[in-house]
């Protein structure tokens, strides 16, 4: 790992840069990527954001969205070429290459330097330049720090500030999670000085529900929420037929798991979901209950202490059975 100080020297002449982030990018992943993209582009670099998959429509308002290259069957060769030709590959908001789907091989084989900026526990990537802090509330917070390290705070415009603010707002659960530090509030104050309209960003992210999504949430709460008060666990199981019935799009299930965790007395919540031929899981916990190691040990996953996810190797029914059988273990993951 190289000192970040040498990154400044490295970036002192124009470079070809690819910025990538985790699959199914959320506001922190995309906001960090586009925030850094604008900053580097304005400094004269040739910069492209490449995402491993598409992302929800409620993120499309971010400036630069139209220039993002979304990896899919049609664009994969192009993405791989961009990565192989890059002088620098920025890996934002993920800690292991399996989080970037089939961009893993191109990144692994790339000749360019790598920069990792991330806040997930248990880092697996060794990059040439790293800004990794698992105490940070969001990768966007670290991008702001990085811009300051590169002595570029005065270059932060509204597009950069709003992209970073979106990442911080969502990864802190609107400044509610335990990760909400005094420093993050100071960062946000600085971002507001650089032009963030907090009401606008909040509405663009949270208040653009489709009626389908709201009806789906109502249905899930009414029919699909399984609550086990004795074990202090609540979870949803959503199948592929329900995805189709409610025309669910990327992002439509985001936040659902938090309703389960909001029940008084519940300390662990999950959502187990069949989607695009995969069984995806999200875990949330409160306080000292930790879900990241559990997700890593049993469901090829990881994340943060109180918010983690994973993918199951089994079908939906078998995954639910496996999850149920592991609940006693989950209850003893107190850290
Ligand atoms: P979510 O439940 O919102 O998809 O993800 C919660 C947290 O867990 C995020 O920090 C995310 O990066 C992480 N996470 C989600 N899915 C996976 C996964 O499949 N593998 C790993 N390692 N982390 C995940
Ligand atoms: Mn994040």
In sequence order, which residues have a C-beta less than 8 Å from that of residue 278 and are 6 or more positions away?
Answer: 311, 312
**Residues 294 and 182 placed together within one structural domain of the fold:** no
Together in a domain, 80 and 159: yes
| Ligand 1 centroid – CA 120 distance (Å) | 9
Residue 260's pLDDT is 98
- Among candidates 83, 78, 75, which has minimal Cα distance to 111? 83
Residues 108 and 202 in one domain: yes
Least confident of 2-6, 32-36, 63-67, 145-149: 2-6
Q: Is 125 in the same domain as 273?
A: no
pLDDT at 332 over 80: no
Number of domains present in the structure of the chain: 2
**141 and 268 fall within a common domain:** no
b/e per residue, 256-270, with b = 16+ CB within 10 A? Answer: bbebbbeeeebbbbb
What is the distance between the alpha carbons of residues 112 and 204, in angstroms, rounded to a whole number?
A: 36
273 and 155 belong to one structural domain = no
Question: Which atom of ligand 1 is least distant from the CA of 299?
Answer: 19
Q: Which residue's alpha carbon is nearest to atom 8 within ligand 1?
A: 308
Residues 132 and 250 in one domain: no
How confident is the model at residue 74, as a pLDDT? 98
Rounded mean pLDDT of 204-218? 96
pTM for the whole structure: 0.95
**Which pLDDT does position 169 carry in this prediction?**
98
pLDDT at 331: 78
pLDDT attached to residue 101: 97
Q: What is the mean pLDDT of residues 102-126?
A: 97
Look at residues 101, 58, 105, 57 and name the one whose alpha carbon lies nearest to residue 80: 105
Identify the domain boundary among 147, 174, 206: 206
CA angle 116, 249, 310 (to 5 degrees): 45
Burial of 66: CB neighbours in 10 Å, binned 0-12, 13-18, 19+? exposed
- Has residue 137 got a pLDDT over 80? yes
How far, in Å, from the CA of 44 to the mean position of ligand 1? 33
Question: Which atom belonging to ligand 1 lies closest to the Cα atom of 302?
Answer: 22
Q: Of 250 and 298, which is predicted with more confidence?
A: 298
C-alpha triplet 330, 334, 335: angle, nearest 5°: 135
86-98 tens-digit pLDDT:
999 999 999 999 9
Task: Indicate the top mutation candidate among 101, 170, 303, 307 to test ligand 1's pocket, ranked by most ligand atoms within 8 A of CB.
Answer: 303
Q: Determine the distance separating the centroid of ligand 2 and the alpha carbon of 229, expressed in angstroms.
A: 30
Residue 3 above 90 pLDDT? Answer: no
CA 302 to chain centre: 12
Share of residues in the chain with pLDDT > 90 (%): 93
Which residues lie closer than 8 Å to 191 by C-beta, 6 or more apart? 144, 156, 161, 162, 164, 165, 168
Residue 333 has pLDDT above 70, yes or no: no
**Closest ligand, as measured to the CA of 171:** 2
Residues 127, 268 share a domain: no
Residue 191 has pLDDT above 70, yes or no: yes
Q: What is the mean pLDDT of residues 141-146?
A: 98
Q: Which residues line ligand 1 (CB under 6 A)?
A: 22, 96, 99, 120, 282, 301-304, 307-311
Nearest residue CA, atom 12 of ligand 1? 303
What value does the mean pLDDT of the chain take?
96
pLDDT exceeds 80 at position 80: yes
**pLDDT tens, 15-43?**
999 999 999 999 999 999 999 999 999 99
Nearest ligand to residue 253 Cα? 1
Residues 83 and 229 reside in one and the same domain: no
Q: What digits encode the pLDDT tens for the residues 243-292?
A: 999 999 988 999 999 999 999 999 999 999 998 899 999 999 998 899 99
Q: What is the mean pLDDT of residues 56-68?
A: 97
**Does the pLDDT at position 51 exceed 60?**
yes
Same domain, 24 and 150: yes
pLDDT higher than threshold 60 for residue 2:
no
The CATH number assigned to the domain holding 51 equals: 3.90.1640.10
Which range marks the domain in which residue 225 is found?
Answer: 211-334
Q: Above 80 in pLDDT, residue 335? A: no
Residues 179 and 218 in one domain: no
pLDDT at position 334 is 58
User: Which pLDDT value is given to residue 311?
Assistant: 96
Mean local confidence (pLDDT), 66-94 = 98
In angstroms, rounded to a whole number, what is the distance separating the alpha carbons of residues 293 and 301? 8
pLDDT band of residue 297 (cuts 50, 70, 90) is very high
Give, for ligand 1, the residue of 253, 280, 308, 313 to mutate: max count of ligand atoms closer than 8 Å to Cβ.
308
d(CA 118, CA 140) in angstroms, rounded, equals 9
Point out the domain boundary residue: 172, 206, 240.
Answer: 206
pLDDT beyond 70 at 196: yes
pLDDT digits (tens, 9 = 90+) for 99-112: 999 999 999 999 99
Strand 129-132 and strand 113-118: pairing? Answer: parallel
Residues 177, 247 within the same domain: no
Q: What angle do CA 28, 155, 152 make, to 5 degrees?
A: 85
């Amino acid at each position: 790992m190289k000192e970040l100080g040498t990154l400044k020297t490295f970036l002192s002449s124009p470079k070809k840069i690819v910025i990538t982030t985790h699959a199914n990018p959320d506001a922190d992943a995309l906001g960090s990527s586009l925030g850094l993209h604008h900053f580097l582009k304005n400094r004269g670099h040739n910069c492209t954001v490449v995402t491993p998959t598409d992302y929800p429509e409620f993120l499309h308002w971010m400036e630069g969205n139209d220039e993002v290259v979304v990896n899919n069957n049609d664009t994969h060769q192009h993405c791989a070429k961009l990565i192989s030709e890059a002088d620098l590959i920025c890996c934002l908001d993920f800690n292991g290459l399996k989080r970037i789907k089939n961009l893993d091989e191109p990144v692994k084989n790339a000749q360019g330097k790598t920069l990792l900026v991330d806040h997930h526990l248990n880092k697996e990537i060794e990059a040439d330049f790293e800004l990794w802090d698992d105490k940070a509330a969001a990768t966007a917070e670290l991008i702001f720090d990085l811009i300051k390290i590169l002595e570029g705070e005065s270059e932060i415009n509204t597009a950069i500030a709003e992209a970073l603010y979106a990442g911080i707002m969502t990864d802190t659960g609107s400044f509610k999670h335990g990760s909400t530090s005094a420093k993050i509030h100071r960062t946000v104050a600085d971002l507001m000085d650089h032009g963030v309209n907090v009401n606008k960003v909040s509405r663009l992210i949270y208040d653009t529900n489709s009626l389908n999504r709201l009806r789906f949430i109502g249905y899930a709460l009414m029919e699909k929420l399984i609550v086990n008060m004795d074990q202090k666990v609540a979870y949803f199981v959503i199948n592929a037929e329900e995805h189709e019935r409610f025309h669910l799009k990327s992002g439509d299930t985001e936040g659902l798991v938090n309703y389960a965790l909001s029940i008084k007395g519940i300390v662990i919540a999950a959502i187990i979901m069949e989607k695009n031929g995969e069984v995806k899981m999200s875990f949330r916990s409160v306080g000292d209950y930790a879900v990241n190691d559990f997700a890593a040990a049993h469901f090829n996953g990881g994340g943060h202490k109180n918010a983690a996810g994973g993918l199951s190797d089994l079908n939906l029914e078998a995954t639910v059975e496996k999850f149920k059988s592991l609940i006693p273990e989950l209850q003893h993951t107190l850290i």
